[in-house]
Amino acid sequence: MSCEEPKWKWIAEGFIATKRVNLYQEAESCCNELINRRLIQLVDVNVHYYDFKNIVR
């Protein structure tokens, strides 16, 4: 999963509240903390769909 979508959702839902840095930086910090604690894992999902009519002749 990419961490971008959850960060913006956390901000929009009001889960991120801070006065020391901006909301995006705080969301980034929270995401990094969850990754470091191994509570979430980032994966690269790049699925390629092929048209088999063009591959098999």
Q: Is residue 57 part of a domain?
A: no
Q: Is residue 22 part of a domain?
A: yes
Number of domains in the chain: 1
Mind listing the pLDDT tens digit for each residue in 9-46? 999 999 988 777 789 999 999 999 999 999 988 776 66
Q: How confident is the model at residue 52 (pLDDT cuts 50, 70, 90)?
A: low
Q: Is residue 54 part of a domain?
A: no
Residues of the domain holding 20: 4-47
Q: Is residue 56 part of a domain?
A: no
Tell me what pLDDT residue 56 has.
Answer: 47
Q: What is the DSSP string of 1-57?
A: --SHHHHHHHHHHT----SSS-HHHHHHHHHHHHHHTTSS-----------HHHH--
pLDDT at position 4 over 60: yes
Q: Is residue 55 part of a domain?
A: no
Tell me what pLDDT residue 27 has.
Answer: 92
